[in-house]
Amino acid sequence: MSLLPSRFIYVCLHFLVLYFQLQESQQSSADFRFYIENHTRNPDDLSRKQVRIYQLYSRTTGKHVQILGKKINANGDDGGKYALLVVETETFGSHIRIKGKESEHYICMNEKGKIVGRV
């Protein structure tokens, strides 16, 4: 008879531990989501900003994407000065900026959904 109460207490303690682990995991994920949302809206100076130079290859034209001021096309030669693109990324969020190294124009979309270059 003494086995039944001890097993019952053992099972109750397991459920209690699982309950507290569930509570803790739900709170930490909510806090982390809040932390990420705050840092994506207001990036601080400690966030690592990565800047790299790439060339984007178009399989359709067989050439590289180039930014010629406001005009963007996929007719650039390999290593061409307008085909070199500066890609800037931040640690938090999914913010990516692509600009032409020579033209200093960013790849943007206008109201109609067309890709254009803007300063």
Give me the pLDDT at residue 38, please. 67
Give me the pLDDT at residue 81, please. 94
User: Number of helices (H) and strands (E), helices first, in the chain?
Assistant: 1, 8
Give me the pLDDT at residue 2, please. 55
Q: To the nearest whole number, what is the mean pLDDT of the chain?
A: 81
Give me the pLDDT at residue 31, please. 64
Give me the pLDDT at residue 39, please. 62
Q: How far is the CA of 40 from the CAs of 26, 28, 35, 44, in angstroms?
A: 22, 18, 9, 9
φ, ψ of residue 86 to 5 degrees: the values are -95, 120
Residues of the chain with pLDDT under 50: 1, 28
> Which residue type, as a one-letter code, is found at position 8?
F
Give me the pLDDT at residue 66, please. 95
Entry pTM: 0.59
Give me the pLDDT at residue 30, please. 56
Give me the pLDDT at residue 16, please. 76
